[in-house]
A and B are shown apart, each in its own frame.
Chain A
Amino acid sequence: MTRSARPKLGAYAGLSGFGLLAGLVVARPEIVALTAPFLLALGVGLALAERPRLTLRLEQDSYRALEGEEVDLRLRVEAGAPVDRLDVYVRLPDGLEVARGHDPITVRLARGERRDIELTLLARRWGGHVVGPVHVRARDPLGLLSWEATYDAREPLRVYPREAQLRRMLRPRETQVFAGNEVARRKGEGIEFADIRPFAHGDLVRRVNWRASARRNELWVNEAHPERNVDVILFLDSFAEARLGGEGTLDLAVRATATLANEYIGRRDRVGLIAFGGILRWLLPGMGTLQRYRILDALLDTEIVLSYYWKEIDVIPRRTLPPSALVIALTPLLDERSVGALLDLRARGFDLAVIDVSPVPFTRRPRAGSLDELAYRIWELRRDALRARYERAGVAVAEWRRGDDLQVALEEVRAFRRYARHARV
């Protein structure tokens, strides 16, 4: 522990020295009487000062939580020497806050006393958080000296994004070969009726459409659409974000990505992830609960990393983007690199849908009539023009604002995709 003198020590020492000297020079006993209390405080304070001997341990009742959940934290402090005033501060990351308890707190510990300081933490934001270290400052009874130390007591806490409920998902243009919940466009073994055709050798008798056969005087059989799974790639733009009041576009995008991943995996689809930003992260498409947790864990480590390096779509491993996969991009459309990469994806024939996580609610509109307001309006118009550019390229774009339901944005994308023509650009 690092010992340091408080300002009081210097002040009292100065007053005592000056007072005693003045008393001797002026030869007035009253000056000595005025000085004596400060000398007494100095002597008593230094006599009572003892180096604290502390043992600290941080305990947590859970290492995983969902956004909005509470986690109990216990800091066990044991004192080998008495400490009259001990300031304890557990450093919390930005996404966590104290729901109950006090941090920092001042406690008093007797010799050998063990104290549990209880804190209830509220997980405000998703992320891989680390609780700690613990900073302590001990003071002697009269506050002349202080001892400070930082204990490297840290506990990890992974806070997963809270997922929304979606009623209907985006349908890709193409399906894959494995069984799933998506009705394929092609014909094959399935439940959903597709068409009828003349009987051919090898057709099952139970597929014969007797009504159609009777009308045509020859055997006709029913055809069906098979139920297949799909490949979905979630493209998370982490180049830039707009942030205001502790929340930003990346927070919304990560929550939406987690929701989409959860829903698609629940439908037995293969889901992959590309976090395209200063640091490129990817997960090959996969299915099942394990893949879901892989995606969630990868999302927790997503952050905006400033980078001037111009990245193109070529940097993404080829296997991450399987052909005929649906690519759903969640982007605030703020960085030219991600805008260009998405257009590049579309040009390569990928089935692309863009959810524009709007940065507008995270900005402050400048005063009306000012030059800033004019610039702001131009910026908004440029965003509209950018969305129109995507739409001209056949990409469905929907603006999703904070507070709106994600389903609304998805429906907007669906509506566009229903009538859009697929063409190479």
Chain B
Amino acid sequence: MAARRRPAGRARGGEGIQALRPARARLIPALAATVAAAAVAGYTLGLGGRYGALAAALAAVGLLVLIFGLVRRAHGAVPWAVTLVGAGYVLALGGRDTVDGWAAVVGGALLLTAELAIWSIEHDDRVYEEAAVLQRRIAALAGLVAGALLLGMLVVSAAAFSGATGIVVATAGVAAAVLAVAIVLRLVRTT
């Protein structure tokens, strides 16, 4: 005798938790990435400066490249978009003698843009993600951005104290700090 067919389960979600629709799961990180990049572009526009118009144009082009990459799911567009938006910001700083204190936040925002854009591009509707995986991913992203902010602030404050001549030292310091963090994490992971 044939067993009676049981009612089909949901395609997504848990017992009582309604999961995000597949399209929305891709749309949210894409929108967040665009917002983060737009914030940097807006800040660039606000800086004005000698090359204000050119800087704003660069940032706008970067934003467009990002949107194109998100729509077409083009991985290759993301680094170009980040570079263009970052280049716009650096160009807007042209002619200023002081170090911009918000540079660390801009760096964090650019990292967030890249991470969220790649998240959106790599999202596959066909693959079901467990809630634990999603939570872990969000936590990892938050931790990474927090660490990036901390490192950026360290660089900015070090450069503010030592002046433009301390760039080499700051660069070496960043590399050393990253290396130290990597070694510690590796040791923690293997034990």
Contact = CB atoms under 8 A, between A and B. Distances in A.
A388 interface: no
B35 interface: no
Interface stretch (B48-56, B57-65, B85-93): B85-93
A87 B127 contact: yes
A50 to B, nearest CB: 6
B39 to A, nearest CB: 14
Which of A34, A36, A70 counts the most B-chain CB atoms under 10 A from its CB?
A36
7 contacts: A30-B106, A36-B148, A44-B144, A48-B189, A68-B2, A69-B2, A108-B133
Interface in B174-191: 174-175, 178-179, 181-186, 189-190
Contact of B156 (A33, A38, A44, A48): A33
B144 A34 contact: no
Contacts of B186: 47-48
A12 B107 CA distance: 13
Given A31-B86, A32-B167, A108-B132, 11 more contacts: A8-B118, A23-B167, A33-B156, A34-B106, A38-B111, A40-B147, A43-B181, A47-B182, A108-B136, A143-B122, A162-B2
Given A30-B93, A43-B182, A37 B128 contact: no
Contacts of A23: 167, 170-171
Given A30-B99, A69-B2, A46 B168 contact: no
Which 7 residue pairs spanning A and B have beta carbons closest together?
A: A29-B159, A37-B148, A102-B128, A47-B182, A37-B111, A43-B182, A30-B103
Interface string B101-133: 001101110110011001000100011111011
Contacts of A102: 11, 128
A27 B164 contact: yes
A46 B83 contact: no
B183 A30 contact: no
Interface string B126-155: 111110110011001000110111011001
B178 A34 contact: no
Contacts of A12: 79, 114
A258 B2 CA distance: 16
B72 interface: no
Interface string B64-84: 000000000001101100110
A40 B151 contact: yes
Interface residues of A, number: 58
Which of B78, B127, B145 counts the most A-chain CB atoms under 10 A from its CB?
B127
Contacts of A7: 75-76, 118
B8 A31 contact: no
B17 interface: no
Contacts of B170: 23, 29, 32
Interface of A: 7-8, 11-12, 14-15, 18-20, 22-24, 26-44, 46-48, 50, 66, 68-70, 82, 84-85, 87, 99-102, 104-108, 120, 122, 141-143, 162
A8 B119 CA distance: 10
Contacts of B130: 105-108
Contacts of B76: 7, 11
Contacts of A141: 136, 140
Contact of B79 (A14, A69, A108): A14
Contact of B2 (A40, A47, A66): A66
Contacts of A8: 75, 118
A39 B114 CA distance: 13
A70 B8 CA distance: 11
A24 B128 contact: no
Contacts of B122: 143
A47 B9 contact: no
A101 B6 CA distance: 13
Nearest to A34: B107
A255 to B, nearest CB: 14
Nearest to A103: B128
A99 B9 CA distance: 7
Contact of B78 (A11, A101, A162): A11
A39 B164 contact: no
Contacts of A30: 89-90, 93, 99-100, 103, 106, 156
B23 interface: no
Given A28-B164, A70-B3, A106-B129, A44 B185 contact: yes
Contacts of A37: 107-108, 110-111, 144-145, 148-149, 151-152
Nearest to B140: A141
